[in-house]
């Protein structure tokens, strides 16, 4: 990407684009211009800050719930123990990659 394109993105990022990038960040690393554009947008946009906070909260709640389900021995499940262990390993590995 050109420097002018990157600068334009940083200066003119819309709420829709910001929301998409905040969501994308959960699945892929953002480029430096994308990160800068989101940071600058979040500095001035309370709605997008709230969206990011709620998205992170939802992700954390779902992770905790999935871990509880995978480690809860009283819960009836159709998953075999080795499948539960594999899923738990994938979830905890994804957590460590984001930190």
Q: What is the pLDDT of residue 8?
A: 73
Question: How far is the C-alpha of 46 from the C-alpha of 33, rounded, in Å?
Answer: 21
- As to burial, measured by CB atoms within 10 angstroms (0-12 exposed, 13-18 middle, 19+ buried), residue 74 is exposed
Domain positions in the chain = 3-98
In this prediction, residue 24 carries a pLDDT of: 94
Residue 63 has pLDDT above 80, yes or no: yes
- Cα–Cα distances in angstroms (integers) from residue 73 to residues 59, 63, 79, 99, in the given order: 23, 17, 12, 28
């Amino acid at each position: 990407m050109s420097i002018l394109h990157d600068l334009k993105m940083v200066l003119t990022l819309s709420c829709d684009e910001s929301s998409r990038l905040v969501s994308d960040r959960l699945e892929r690393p953002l480029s430096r211009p994308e990160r800068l554009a989101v940071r600058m947008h979040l500095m001035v946009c309370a709605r997008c800050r709230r969206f990011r906070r709620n998205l992170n909260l939802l992700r954390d709640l779902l992770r905790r719930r999935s871990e509880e389900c995978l480690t809860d021995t009283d819960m009836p499940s159709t998953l075999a123990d080795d499948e539960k262990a594999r899923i738990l390993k994938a979830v905890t590995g994804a957590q460590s990659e984001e930190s």
